[in-house]
Amino acid sequence: MNEVVRMRADETPRTREPETLPARAYWAEEYWKLDREAIWARTWVLAAGVDDFTRVGDYVTATVAGTPVLVVRGEDGLRAFHNVCRHRASPLVLAECGHVDKLTCPYHSWRYGFDGTLLNAPAMNIDKKDYGLFRLRCETWRGLVFVCLSDDTPPLAEWMAEVSAAALRYPLEEMHLARKLSLEAEINWKTYADNYAEGWHVPTIHPGLNATLDMASYRVETSGLVLQTHSARARDGGMTDGLWVWRLPGLFLNMYKWGMSVEQVEPLGPRRLKLNYRYFFSDAERAEECDEILKWSVGVAKEDIAICERVQKNLEAGVYDRGRLSLVFENGVIQFQQMVQAAYRRN
């Protein structure tokens, strides 16, 4: 595993193109453990929208760094907890979202307040104040709800400062949520991120997107190890241009003429992920006529998933270990993989 965080012993100055991460980093359990601890446990993760919580008792669940998470609205606002009962580790709620009058464990009926306090533990003589739910940080940004497992990560507003400063085409708070959907795939989250980090594959993988974008204008700009911005003009007669802002490691704001999608990567294991999308339109009337646009956008996402699944299989086949990255077309991939390596070193 040390090979990830140092230059290979046989590396020489004969080429400037950096090597990729080793294939093992995309499927091995020890790297999944590193990803969870060094990256995902220390990042803010989009879990819900403020509009998902209209009543006290409304809740949403998510998976963060492989950990089940619960966000619930209480009398005093939103709270986040590990979705695990303190009795014998049963999940407290099983659905992706819903409403409860009380947070009662479905296993042995331990009951908690919406502030996480243990209220009732049947047939148990214990000090209830010692067995409240495990709290998590929960903050909001422009109507979106984020959670974080680490107490050391900067506040959300600071963590999102580069995104807030980027040229966001539409004020998110003024847009209309049209649809939420999720896609799951048998790929490592880094396989997906490598693909997102470059537009070099658009002409070969995305014929529809390629037909609408002027790929000669496609640019990828990077900022430190935290932000990546992609942009491209529309072709003459093209459906849309594009501006894509990526807050590493896994939050994407994809902006088009018709509106934007906010996408959060949710790693589920070393070989599986979920992509959670929220589609916003700039006016309510357009939001009601979004089916064709959504069909087009989901089609692009499925094209990405298809090539990533093929790559994932070859990463696990045992033939390929490392490749080289183009300084011309893969500066975004280089930035992303440098972020991963830096996180591994810190851990």
210/114 same-domain check: no
**What confidence score (pLDDT) does residue 10 get?**
41
In a domain, 29, yes or no: no
Report the alpha-carbon distance of residue 246 to residue 240 in Å, rounded. 19
- The structural domain count of the chain equals 2
Q: Kindly report the average pLDDT of the chain as a whole number.
A: 92
**What confidence score (pLDDT) does residue 294 get?**
87
In a domain, 87, yes or no: yes
**Span 284-303, pLDDT tens digits:** 666 566 788 888 889 999 99
What CATH number has the domain bearing residue 134? 2.102.10.10
198/277 same-domain check: yes
75/214 same-domain check: no
Cβ contact 145:69 at 8 Å: no
Report the alpha-carbon distance of residue 264 to residue 252 in Å, rounded. 6
Residue 165 confidence class, pLDDT cut points 50, 70, 90: confident
In a domain, 204, yes or no: yes
Report the alpha-carbon distance of residue 91 to residue 88 in Å, rounded. 9
186/138 same-domain check: no
Cβ contact 186:312 at 8 Å: yes
Q: How many percent of the chain have pLDDT more than 90?
A: 80
**What confidence score (pLDDT) does residue 3 get?**
38
**Span 219-270, pLDDT tens digits:** 999 999 999 999 999 888 666 788 899 999 999 999 888 788 999 999 999 9
**Span 183-220, pLDDT tens digits:** 999 999 999 999 999 999 999 999 999 999 999 999 99
Residue 15 confidence class, pLDDT cut points 50, 70, 90: low
Of the three residues 100, 135, 155, the one that is the final residue of a domain is 155
Which whole number is the average pLDDT over 329-336? 98
241/130 same-domain check: no
Please return the burial class of 322, using the count of CB atoms within 10 Å of its CB with bins 0-12, 13-18 and 19+. middle
142/210 same-domain check: no
Structural domain span for residue 262? 166-346
**What confidence score (pLDDT) does residue 286 get?**
62
In a domain, 1, yes or no: no
In a domain, 34, yes or no: no
Cβ contact 220:214 at 8 Å: no
Instruction: Write down the pTM of the prediction.
Output: 0.92
What CATH number has the domain bearing residue 240? 3.90.380.10
**What confidence score (pLDDT) does residue 130 get?**
97
**Span 72-127, pLDDT tens digits:** 999 999 999 999 999 999 999 999 999 999 999 999 999 999 999 999 999 999 99
Of the three residues 129, 155, 181, the one that is the final residue of a domain is 155
Of the three residues 121, 155, 189, the one that is the final residue of a domain is 155
Helix count and strand count (H, E) for the chain: 9, 17
In a domain, 222, yes or no: yes
Integer-rounded Cα radius of gyration of the chain = 22
Comparing 294 with 337, the larger pLDDT belongs to: 337
Beta strand 144-148 with 45-49 is antiparallel
**What confidence score (pLDDT) does residue 285 get?**
67
